[in-house]
Amino acid sequence: MSATEGASDGWRAEGPGSLNRPRQTLENASDDRRSDSPEGLHRPHAGVGPPLLEVKNIEVVYNDVILVLRGLSLAVPQGKIVALLGANGAGKSTTLKAISGLLKTEEGEVTRGEITFDGERIDGIDPHLIVRRGIFQVMEGRRIIADMTCLENLRLGAFIRRDAEVRRDIEMVYEYFPRLKERTGLAGYLSGGEQQMLAIGRALMARPKLILMDEPSMGLSPLLVKEVFGIIRRLNEELGITILLVEQNARMALSVASHAYVMEQGKVVLDGSAAALAENEDVKEFYLGGHGTERKSFRNLKSYKRRKRWL
Amino acid sequence: MDSALLLQLTLNGLIVGALYGVVAMSFVLIYKASQVVNFAQGEFLLVGAWVCWWLLTDWQLPFWLGFLVTLAFMTAFGMILQVVVLRPLIGEPVISVIMATIGLGIFFQALMKWIFGVFAKPFPPIFHAEQVSVLGLQVQSVYLLSLGISLLIMLGFAWFFTLSKHGLAMRATAFDQQVAQSLGISVPRVFAMSWAISAMVSALAGVVVGVVNGVSSALSFYGIKVFPAVILGGLDSVVGAVLGGLIVGLLENWAQYLDANWLNWGNMYGVAPFYALILILLIKPYGLFGTKNIERV
Ligand SMILES: Nc1ncnc2c1ncn2[C@@H]1O[C@H](COP(=O)(O)OP(=O)(O)OP(=O)(O)O)[C@@H](O)[C@H]1O
Ligand SMILES: [Mg+2]
């Protein structure tokens, strides 16, 4: 796997003359931690050609004054899972909303830089049109429609489609999430884990090329986290869906991703192959609960204690 | 005690109540989808009925054709109203939006009087059989038709909101606009659609009432009757709106029965629903079917 990872360095977008303090890029760790995932078949051309999604040096402002992203760049190649890690308030959700266009619904705006998907610029486009281009965001906190049934939620996921295969895809979702099939009541009464599954299932119904997943592990028991991540990996391998994954649970995220970015205060401060990041001392200390020697670059440790305000 | 009269009034109550229910549903449709309290709902009935009357008399169109043209016109009318008047007000204070709909109501009320005059005008006769016997009661066939149409509309709403894609999208928008957008739903389009359907359905009710009672500005009173109905039902519940409408219809007629037999206060017909409204709101402030939020995250 590490050979492919090495090649993938080719697609990484470096923000031109960025405001960033020098960004670190890690070389590959020599061990092959991801040998468990099958090679290649659904991941054609890793490192060749332009990535499916490319975010170039964007700046995001809320309410015309609050600067949240300051020159953020990242790239997601076709067929891969890419993780985006960072402390609370670093701007991870903002990054996803900038890509999906949902920023517009929160008085936010991309004021600089550009976002390209499938070779076309998508920044500034209305969110409902971006969905039609094949990007689906599974928002933080599931956001299923509580006063509808499971089935109605799934059918809504297919809102943008006109083909006749919706029924078949519902069956497919039930294959991935068998327990959803048994739930006939209102989605609001589902357990947290079931709601997360429904949120992911609803995303599948849109047949997206890229899913933006915002903290799928939030509030789930360790066992369920494992289950959900197992399914995320299967979706990527079996359906070939590209995934950009925002997570607090860095260990889990790094175990399914091939590449990862660490962001802090609106910028990427570190990126590299998932394997390399998992071995990195700073990442270990701050995200994996390891014991680094001294606290160096991750300044906003206190932000862990901050309550989440934008659920 | 005159039980035949009571039965007759009950039947009247159901027939009129079903129409109130239909208008209440179309009011709730707008309120739920776009959070606008539409004080011009009654004028939708008025405009629709006059347009249909005009097509049937001045243009001599056959009923079915005039009826369809009216519905198409009112669909466009509702949509244009939303896009031109209400859309620019999105994000403005609630009171501005309410004033705008009150203004619309007054404007169309006056416009219809100016064009068609102040006197009630009957529709050309549409059905031959005037009286039908149901359970031993003599009922005008138009009343039965009205009840049938009301039921059809209700079934249509049920289908729309549970099985059609756009109905689901409308419910999603009512629940959470950001989520709706994340699913690929265009919220402005949903708003426009809710006004279009609401105007169309109200106009349908307007034509039915017009055929029964003749067309006059009295039609816009339905827009006022809607308030006790929807508040009884709980403002954001479509089912509640239907039941609220039926309750108001029945109350009016039973109150009239009481009044005629014992009280002799006069005018109970119009006032009773509002008394009932006050009583019910004292007991259940969110109405009989107001939203119970599901608290589970
Ligand atoms: N709609 C908004 N209006 C104003 N400021 C906002 C808005 N949304 C987010 N912010 C601010 O932007 C910053 C980044 O928020 P964001 O939600 O992107 O962080 P995050 O990395 O997703 O954090 P978490 O891990 O807690 O979800 C925060 O300081 C937050 O206060
Ligand atoms: Mg977040």
In this structure, of A225-239, A276-290, B257-271, the range with the lowest mean pLDDT score is B257-271
pLDDT at A306 over 80: no
Q: A186 to chain B: nearest residue by CA? A: B294
Q: Enumerate the residues of chain A whose CB falls inside 8 A of the CB of residue B182.
A: 100, 102, 127, 131, 136-137, 139, 143
> What pLDDT, on the 0 to 100 scale, is given for residue A281?
78
- Name the pLDDT band for A22 (thresholds 50, 70, 90): low
The number of residues in chain A equals 311
Q: How far apart are CA A59 and CA A53, in angstroms?
A: 17
Cα dihedral sign, A260-A262-A263-A267: negative
> What pLDDT, on the 0 to 100 scale, is given for residue A31?
41
> What pLDDT, on the 0 to 100 scale, is given for residue B287?
67
Chain B closest CA to A248's CA: distance in Å? 18
Task: Provide CB contacts within 8 A for A172, sequence distance 6+.
Answer: A204
* Residue stretches of chain B with pLDDT short of 70: 1, 127-129, 263-269, 285-297
Contact A156 B187 (CB under 8 A): no
The residue whose C-alpha atom lies closest to atom 18 belonging to ligand 1 is A91
- Name the pLDDT band for A310 (thresholds 50, 70, 90): very low
Q: Nearest Cβ partner of A143 from B165, B176, B185?
A: B176
Which residue segment(s) compose the domain that A103 sits in? 2-143+212-217+234-279
Count of domains for chain A: 1
pLDDT at A175 over 80: yes
Q: Nearest Cβ partner of A188 from B165, B177, B296?
A: B296
- Name the pLDDT band for A297 (thresholds 50, 70, 90): very low
Using the Cβ of B90 and the Cβ atoms of chain A, whether some distance falls under 8 Å is answered with: no
Ligand nearest to the CA of A108: 1
> What pLDDT, on the 0 to 100 scale, is given for residue A33?
41
Structural domain includes residue A42: yes
Structural domain includes residue A296: no
Contact B171 A159 (CB under 8 A): no
pLDDT at A23 over 70: no
Structural domain includes residue A176: no
Strands A66-76 and A135-138: unpaired
Q: B295 to chain A: nearest residue by CA? A: A188
Contact B179 A143 (CB under 8 A): yes
Closest CA to A127 of A151, A104, A155: A104
Q: How many angstroms is it from A62 CA to the middle of ligand 1?
A: 9
User: A102-112, pLDDT tens digit by residue?
Assistant: 999 999 999 99
Q: What is the mean pLDDT of residues A147-174?
A: 93
> What pLDDT, on the 0 to 100 scale, is given for residue A305?
37
User: A30-60, pLDDT tens digit by residue?
Assistant: 444 444 444 433 444 445 568 999 999 999 9
Determine which of A156, A205, A207 to mutate to test the interface with B (most B C-beta atoms within 10 Å): A156
> What pLDDT, on the 0 to 100 scale, is given for residue B184?
95
Determine which of A145, A151, A211 to mutate to test the interface with B (most B C-beta atoms within 10 Å): A145
pLDDT at A96 over 90: yes
Structural domain includes residue A118: yes
Which atom of ligand 1 is nearest to A310's Cα? 17
Q: Enumerate the residues of chain B whose CB falls inside 8 A of the CB of residue A102.
A: 178, 181-182
Q: Which of A68, A269, A307 to mutate to test the pocket of ligand 1 (most atoms within 8 A of CB)?
A: A68
Structural domain includes residue A203: no
Which atom of ligand 1 is nearest to A90's Cα? 21
CA B183 to chain centre: 31
Q: A101 to chain B: nearest residue by CA? A: B182
User: A245-254, pLDDT tens digit by residue?
Assistant: 999 888 899 9
Using the Cβ of B184 and the Cβ atoms of chain A, whether some distance falls under 8 Å is answered with: yes
User: SS3 sequence, chain B?
Assistant: CCHHHHHHHHHHHHHHHHHHHHHHHHHHHHHHHHCCCCCCHHHHHHHHHHHHHHHHHCCCCCHHHHHHHHHHHHHHHHHHHHHHHHHHHCCCCHHHHHHHHHHHHHHHHHHHHHHHCCCCECCCCCCCCCEEEECCEEEEHHHHHHHHHHHHHHHHHHHHHHHCHHHHHHHHHHHCHHHHHHCCCCHHHHHHHHHHHHHHHHHHHHHHHHHHHCECHHHHHHHHHHHHHHHHHCCCCHHHHHHHHHHHHHHHHHHHHHHHHHHCCCCHHHHHHHHHHHHHHHHCCCCCCCCCCCCCC
Complex ipTM, two decimals?
Answer: 0.82
Q: Percentage of chain A with pLDDT > 90?
A: 58
CATH number, domain of A262, equals 3.40.50.300
> What pLDDT, on the 0 to 100 scale, is given for residue B79?
96
Structural domain includes residue A202: no
pLDDT at A20 over 70: no
Q: How far apart are CA A129 and CA A87, in angstroms?
A: 30
Q: Specify whether the CB–CB gap between B204 and B71 falls below 8 A.
A: yes
Determine which of A126, A136, A142, A147 to mutate to test the interface with B (most B C-beta atoms within 10 Å): A147
Structural domain includes residue A157: no
